[in-house]
Amino acid sequence: MRSYSLRAALAATLCLLSSSVFSSSVAQAAPKPTGNGAIFFHPDGTSASHWDITRILYYGPDGFLNWDRLPVIAPYRGHHFDQLGGTSNAGAMTHATGTRAHAKSFGSELKP
């Protein structure tokens, strides 16, 4: 019984060692950054007014949030065709396609 567990432990160790050696030799270098990427922040349910009130509350009307220090920022208006407040489903359509949707929309249909 003891020799069986010793053999199993040795086999497991050999498998781990060989897999780590094999995976490190197959690993590829990370691609060089192109600078063409974008980071999309999706604070669901917020708008520019939420950032304004946060700025005023924590830093005063002349203060800056880290958000304000980003080199490029492009907030958008997230209202829908038929209501001012956003919904998750229609908001996803707006995010994905850059087009307005009806509030009860679950895709790219033109009518609610």
**CA nearest 56: which of 67, 66, 65, 43?**
65
Q: 0.85 cut: is pTM over it?
A: no
pLDDT in tens, 6-60: 666 666 665 655 555 555 555 677 888 888 877 777 666 677 788 889 999 999 9
What CA dihedral angle connects 98, 104, 88 and 73, to 10 degrees?
Answer: 30
Query: What residue numbers bound the domain in which 68 lies?
Result: 48-97
d(CA 91, CA 94): 5
Q: How many domains does the chain have?
A: 1
Q: How far apart are the first and last CA of the chain?
A: 70
* CA-closest candidate to residue 93, choices 82, 84, 80, 83: 80
Residue 103 belongs to some domain of the structure:
no
Q: Quick one: DSSP state of residue 31?
A: P
**Mean local confidence (pLDDT), 75-98:** 78
54 inside domain:
yes
Question: Per the domain annotation, does 81 fall within a domain?
Answer: yes
3-state SS, residue 110? coil
What value does the mean pLDDT take over residues 63-70? 88
Identify whether 3 is part of a domain. Answer: no
